[in-house]
Amino acid sequence: MQTSACIFDLDGVIVDTARYHFLAWKRLTDQLGIHFTEEDNERLKGVSRIASLDIILEIGKVNADENQKHEYATRKNKWYVEYISKMTPDEILPGSLAFIKELRNAGIRVAIGSASKNTPMILERVGISELFDAVADGNIVKRAKPDPEVFLKAAELLDIEPQRCVVFEDAVAGVQAALNAGMMCIGIGSPGILKKAQFVISGLNEMNLMKLRILENEIRS
Ligand code: B16
Ligand code: MG
């Protein structure tokens, strides 16, 4: 079965916003007296904002009620938005634009499937809002990855069956979400971490349509 649509995670696949998330969480954890490292930040990739905060509070062994949690998450997001509002098109990861344009020229539909509620601002800042046929993000889905909701929503918006979609994902929870959606998944990162992805590359600069066609034949046959 041939691929009719590609769904891209945003953070870690098309842009590297993990460092901005880290800087913003670090400002919060410094204020709360929690020791938070870049290694800890790895655990937050692909995880929703509030679930990320829960992990951080658990690391710091800090208790907080719902009101406090809401205030902490809002404080962090305010700083995060300050950082991403200064993003430029130079921050698009290598190979992303060329691959997405190649897909579009071949009639393959393209969508975003991201946990981030800041997806529209990021796409706008880096100048690629017009590039996607559909955007499924944290503003329209309720259940966080590894739940398949975000990818199923993207497929629905594109009007393409899940079995004809390929997901590109950098987070363990995101790879699982793609598989749960019944989609083929190509991991972006390390094969040692993204163990369940059917194939792993280090970035979209390693992908092109011919390679995708070869992979789908191997994986779907
Ligand atoms: P926001 P993705 C995810 O984006 C990030 O990887 C994760 O670190 C972040 O907590 C989450 O978005 C929510 O982001 O606070 O902007 O709503 O990888 O699914 O594109
Ligand atoms: Mg990601």
Residue range(s) in the chain whose domain bears CATH number 3.40.50.1000: 5-16+90-220
Measured distance CA(143)–CA(127) in Å, rounded: 28
- Supply the residue whose CA is at minimum distance from atom 15 of ligand 1: 49
CA of 169 to the centre of ligand 2 (A): 6
CB 220 within 8 A of CB 1: yes
Ligand closest to 10 (CA) is 1
Kindly report, residue by residue over 173-182, the tens digit of the pLDDT. Answer: 999 999 999 9
Instruction: List b or e across 162-173, with b for residues whose CB sees 16 or more CB atoms inside 10 angstroms.
Output: bebbbbbbbbbb
Instruction: Note the pLDDT of residue 13.
Output: 97
172 Cα: distance to centroid of ligand 1 (angstroms): 13
- For the segment 3-60, what is each residue's pLDDT rounded down to a tens digit? 999 999 999 999 999 999 999 999 999 999 999 999 999 889 888 999 999 999 999 9
3-state secondary structure of 108: coil
CA neighbor of 116 nearest in space, from 136, 86, 92: 136
- Compute the CA torsion angle 32, 36, 38, 42 (nearest 10 deg): -100
In the chain, list all ranges with CATH 1.10.150.240: 18-84
Mean pLDDT of the chain: 96
pLDDT at 55: 96
Tell me how long the chain is. 221
Is residue 90 annotated as part of the catalytic site, yes or no? Answer: no
Class of domain 5-16+90-220: alpha beta
pLDDT in tens, 96-130: 999 999 999 999 999 999 999 999 999 999 999 99
Closest ligand to 112 CA? 1
Q: What is the pTM assigned to this prediction?
A: 0.95
Q: Which atom from ligand 1 is nearest to the alpha carbon of 170?
A: 18
* HSE toward the beta carbon, residue 15, CA cutoff 13 A: 26
- Phi then psi for 148, rounded to 5 degrees? -75, 0
CA of 221 to the centre of ligand 1 (A): 33
Pocket of ligand 1 (CB under 6 A): 9-12, 21, 44-49, 52, 77, 114-118, 138, 171
The residue contributing the CA closest to ligand 1 atom 6 is 46
Q: Residue 136 Cα, ligand 2 centroid: separation in angstroms?
A: 13
The ligand 1 atom at the shortest distance from the C-alpha of residue 138 is 17
Measured from the Cα of 18, ligand 1's closest atom is 8
CA angle, 183 as apex, 167 and 13 as ends, to 5°?
10
For residue 36 the two structure tokens come to: 């938070």
Architecture category of domain 18-84 in CATH: Orthogonal Bundle (1.10)
Cα distance between residue 153 and residue 5, in whole Å? 13
